[in-house]
Structure 1
Amino acid sequence: MQTLTNLPASAGMSLKPEYFDSVHTNLDANLWFEVHAENYLIQGGPRLEQLQEISSHFPISIHGVGASLGGPDPISQEHLSRLVSLLNLIPAAVFSEHIAWSGTQSNYLGNLMPTPITKDSIDSTAKNIMQLQNALQRPILIENPANYLSFKSDMPESEFMMSLVDITGCGILLDINNLFISANNTGIDPHSYIQGLNSDAIGEIHIAGHSTDPNEQGLLIDSHDSDVSKGVWELLEALLSHTGPKPVLIERDGNLPTFEALLAERNQAQHLINSIKKIV
Structure 2
Amino acid sequence: MRLEASKVQEQLDEAVQILGLELDNLLRRERSNIRTEMRAISLTDLRRLADFIKEKCQVYGWIDPRSKAKVDDPEKVNLYQLVFNFIGPVTAPIGHEVVDDSVMIGPDDEVPGGEALWLEHKGRRRLRYVRGVPPGPEARTADKFVRNFSGSFAELLWSEERAAEWFVSHFWGEPVVDFVTCLEAHDERYKLCGCGLYWVCAHANSQTHISEELGTEGPLCSPFFRALDLAKGAVLVVDAASEVTHRMWCGFE
TM-score normalised by the chain length of structure 1? 0.25
**Structure that is richer in strand per residue:** 1
